[in-house]
Structure 1
Amino acid sequence: MTVRLTVRPLTLAWVKQHLHTGEQIVGVEELQGGITAEIRKLTIVTRDGDTRELVLRSFVEPAHRERAEDSLTREAGALTQLAGTGVTAPGLVAVDPTAAHCEYPSLLMTCLPGRTVLTDGGVETRVPLLARQLVSIHALRPAVRPPGYVTLTTADSVVVPTNADLAAWAAAVDMIRRPAPPYQGRFLHRDFQPGNVLFGVLPSSPADTHITGVVDWAATSWGPADLDVAHCCTNLALLHGPAWGRRFAEAYEEAGGVLAADASERSYWMVRDPLAFSEEVAVIARAWRESGRPELTTRAVEERLDAYIKMLLS
């Protein structure tokens, strides 16, 4: 087989340095769904004629390269610490966070089985599985804590959608003008949502749906569990309807997770995350359309975001 030239020459040479003796790259496939990085699945033939797969993540776009070193260093650290825990994540093969060897900052890792599932069908089965998985992540106590969480959204950077409920959005923005509430730190994925969770789904037996792994640990942080929960809530609300955002928070507590006890503190975290989405609705909607949800136009996602903000404030 001929390798399609979708991996740049320097990066390809770097990858080959980390293969086992006698292995060859025989296929390269672009993986959809990535927003900040270019992702490739590499098919490798071993010396014995078997095949295995690796995943290559490269930060190509100038807008994202400035944070590439931090992101790849975080991800490499997280993958190393997750090895041997009950949380299934890719195995780290190699990392070049400053592009010392590759054209762009890159990370090479093992490929997990399973696939992302963003369809409405079966969401009632997947939500409890997602909740239990996140509780397991938050229960980890790493020997070395990752850096503290960062929230890039401010009250002044929120983008109010066209035809949104202005009063509701003004009230939501006022909420995040307050200082962040105190919290008990937890190990956070920081981008835990259906697009970063792989499922094994048997068509003949939907009840046997199970999680096969969690990917994209580039934003791993230390902070409040509420942040991770709120982020997944927002994704579910925009993918499947606002009620699924509220349902995930309930499922997380049913699975043993602990959120802020004070209602105003919980509301602070729950509102902050959807406000952050307001700044990149078009990018997120495009990624979802490319992943098989053509009906999720920018306008459709904005309408769900507005409805979710109003629901949270009701």
Structure 2
Amino acid sequence: MTDHEAEADLRPRARAWVSRHLEAGERIVGSETLHGGITAEVRRLAIAGPGGGTRDLVLRTFVGVAQAEDWLTREAGALTLLAGTDVPAPDLVAVDPTAAHGEHPALLMTHLTGRTVLDDEGIETRVPLLARQLVAIHALRPDQQPPKYEALTTPDSVVVPQGADVTAWADAIDVIRQPAPPYEGCFLHRDFQPGNVLFDVVPSSPSATRIAGVIDWAQPSWGPADLDVAHCATNLALLHGPAWGPRFTEAYEEAGGVLAEGASERRYWSVRDALSFSEEVAEVTRAWRQVGRTDLTARCVAERLDAYVTSLMAA
């Protein structure tokens, strides 16, 4: 992409804001839209230096999102916290949560190597890596706790898929009618799942695969480890088949993670997260298809969600 095309791809005030946070002599020479997200526009910006070298930054923008100020403020705080840890996350460059300097609320950060991997191939290798990374995130103890987790799905907001096991879903909805069980809180990512993890994959040596980064820190929260685990488990069940949900939970415990002791408590968090997906099957499917999982139709994902919810209630 030429300099002119890069400028045209960025809104004028956003381009000016980014430029103010570059090193002396640097300029934007390329812009590429990154797909796979649902709520934010994400662009990789190519930055050229005076000596001819280049580097990449990432611009994350929220357009028409009511929670943008809160999410960007929390993400900036999380990236600042993570800079002093072993959790691989982008470095914060600048944040404009109220759109004081650009057309829309935005955050500028460093670009990490690696890529999201949602294919079935290699999932056996990636699941233990995901589990160990989540255990490390939950071990963080920030000086100031982030806000308490939010769980917005209610019994009335659940959308039962067409052709689903109506009895199992009715029982699942009854589960979340109950008060949340007591828990020991920890630091949560709140959207930890394969789409927010970057892998360095070595095709010739699958065992050398490693996690290069964890992204999308818009909603760090304080709450039960079970909730983060349940969220990743549901994503894996929908991406790769229902059996991968419990396999991730097992991998998390094998990695040293601690979950609720009681089976009913564990089921509460697993069911609560699984039911939340019923409201956004189309959006999730669209994002996955954009990054290559064209085999995942909305119908396929809905059927996997039904099978997963049914299995949770039968366990």
TM-score range, shorter chain: over 0.9
**1:49 CA drift (Å):** 1.4
CA distance in 2, matches of 1:239, 1:177: 28
Aligned length: 311
**Is 1:56 matched up with 2:59?**
yes
Query: 5 Å matches for 1:180-195?
Result: 180-195=180-195
Where structure 2 has 5 or more consecutive residues not aligned to the other structure, the ranges are: none
Write the distance in 1 (CA, Å) between the matches of 2:286 and 2:126.
23
- Counterparts of residues 181-260 of structure 1 (less than 5 Å): 181-260=181-260
Residue in 1 aligned with 2:44? 41
Of 25, 30, 34, the residue aligned with 2:33 is 30
User: Match for residue 264 of structure 1?
Assistant: 264
Residue 301 of structure 1: aligned partner: 301
Runs of 4+ with >6 A deviation: none
Alpha-carbon spacing, 1:79–1:164, altered in 2? closer, same or farther (3 Å): same
- Rounded Cα–Cα distance in structure 2 between residues aligned with 1:133 and 1:220: 15
Q: Residue 2 of structure 1: CA displacement?
A: 2.1
Q: Structure 2 length as normaliser, TM-score?
A: 0.98
CA–CA separation in structure 2 for the residues paired with 1:274 and 1:92? 32
Q: Structure 1, unaligned stretches of length 5 or more? A: none
Q: What are the superposed Cα offsets for residues 162-212 of structure 1, whole Å, 9 maximum, x if unpaired?
A: 000000000000000000011111000000000000000011111100000
Q: Give aligned-pair identity as a percent.
A: 69
The separation in 1 between residues aligned to 2:170 and 2:9, in whole angstroms, is 46
SS of the aligned residue for 2:44 comes to strand
Corresponding position: 1:2 with 2:8: no
The one-letter code matched in structure 2 to 1:71 is: W
SS in 1 for 2:186: strand
Report the alpha carbon displacement of residue 159 of structure 1 after superposing the two structures with TM.
Answer: 0.4
Partner deviation per Cα, 1:252-273 (whole Å, 9 max, x = no partner): 0000000000110110001000
Measure how far apart 1:48 and its partner are: 1.8
Q: Which residue of 1 aligns with 2:173?
A: 173
Q: Given residue 35 of structure 2, which amino acid in structure 1 is its aligned partner?
A: Q
Q: What residue in structure 2 maps to residue 276 of structure 1?
A: 276
Structure 1 residue aligned with 2:310:
310
Counterpart in the other structure of 2:134: 134
* 1:28 partner letter: S
Kindly state the Cα deviation for residue 3 of structure 1 after the two structures are TM-superposed.
Answer: 4.1
Task: Map Cα deviations across residues 60-98 of structure 1 (whole Å, 9 max, x no partner).
Answer: 1x2xx2100110011000000000201010000000001
Give the equivalent residue in structure 2 for 1:16: 19
Secondary structure of 1:176's aligned partner = helix
Contact 1:129–1:211 at 8 Å: present in 2 too?
A: yes
Partner of 2:71: 71
Counterpart for residue 112 of structure 1: 112
| Partner Cα separation in structure 2 for residue 180 and residue 235 of structure 1 | 22
Give the Cα–Cα distance (whole angstroms) in 2 for the partners of residues 96 and 159 of structure 1.
Answer: 36
Compute the TM-score of the two structures, normalised by the length of structure 1: 0.98
Q: Distance in 2 between matches of 1:133 and 1:3?
A: 40
Stretch moving more, 41-50 or 274-283: 41-50
Q: Which residue type is aligned with residue 108 of structure 1? A: L
- The question of whether the paired residues in 2 share the 8 Å contact of 1:165 and 1:306 is answered with yes
CA distance in structure 2 between the partners assigned to 1:114 and 1:273 by the alignment? 28
Report the counterpart of residue 125 of structure 1 in structure 2.
Answer: 125
CA distance in 2, matches of 1:142, 1:31: 30
Q: Return the alpha-carbon distance in structure 2 between the equivalents of residues 59 and 145 of structure 1.
A: 25
Amino acid of the structure 2 residue aligned with 1:235 = N
- The amino acid of 2:199's aligned partner reads F
- Residue number in structure 2 paired with 1:95: 95
CA distance in 1 between partners of 2:203 and 2:151 (Å): 39
Aligned equivalent of 2:83: 83
